[in-house]
Amino acid sequence: MTPAYDRLNLTDRVIIVTGGGSGIGQATARLLASRGARVVVADMNEAGGRGTVEAIRAVGGLAAFVRTNVADEDDVQAMVSFAVAEFGALHGAFNNAGRSSSGAPLTNMSLAAWRQVIDVNLTGVFLCMKHEIDHMLRNGGGAIANTSSGAGVVGFPHAIDYVASKHGVVGLTRAAAADYSNQGIRINAILPGGVDTPMLNSAMGNDPVVRRAVEQGLPIRRLAQPAEMAEAAAWLLSDAASYVTGAAFAIDGGYTAI
């Protein structure tokens, strides 16, 4: 093995993946396991989460599922406790769980609809980091990757709640990195663009005409596959990214470049 490969290796690292039941989370959980990590798949979707675990175990990987609502602090605390009880430690986390915009214009958006998106996309990341970092501080450090969005650094129409939440994830990532990097915890974010996931396809109404229009709006002229996001997250959680912290990586086919 080359030194570069060794630094990507995650053998015996225990890593939580929220939103691991589908899309980017599922692809990342499977990639992390293929590189030797023991993966805790957390999701509200039990069928999807358990399916991810079964797929990992089918090829000899180690994984376990825990049902988790990231907007509920008791659930998040239980998720971290489960990871430690199941595999003995916690070395990394991919805080990826999220939901799409309600789609309402700001003036018509109810406070309840606003809170549903903010609670999952922003407060959920805050709660996950709070309990993950608390454990990591007591056990030698670790690495965290958060999922923001291209909409976390630019405006995006008809998605006020989503854009605000994803901007917040970038802020949380940078501020937490400033606070904890000198204590052995690296914290970064990925900013996906259009990714071919169930959530995006649902937002597009599963309409091939809309999909084509979205693709044509990207310099790269196609949607990403979840595995392309997984590579970035896995790199950030590995020793190959040992000097990377407080960064927000756009992996968006050039969307934020135009």
Question: Catalytic positions, please?
Answer: 162
Task: Confirm if 156 and 101 have CB atoms less than 8 A apart.
Answer: no
Rounded-to-integer distance, Cα 111 and Cα 234, Å: 36
Q: Pairing relation of β-strands 185-192 and 38-43?
A: unpaired
Query: Which two structure tokens, joined as six digits, stand for 25?
Result: 């989370």
Distance CA 145, CA 13 (A): 14
d(CA 213, CA 217): 6
What is d(CA 27, CA 51) in angstroms, rounded to the nearest whole number?
A: 12
Where are the alpha helices (H) located in the chain, listed in sequence order?
3-8, 23-34, 46-58, 73-87, 111-118, 124-137, 160-180, 198-203, 208-216, 226-236
Q: Which of 103, 5, 70, 85 is nearest to 38 (CA)?
A: 85
Question: What is the DSSP annotation of 38-107?
Answer: EEEEEES-HHHHHHHHHHHHHTT-EEEEEE--TT-HHHHHHHHHHHHHHHS---EEEE----------GG
Q: Which residues contact 124 (CB under 8 A, 6 or more apart)?
A: 18, 70, 71, 76, 95, 97, 98
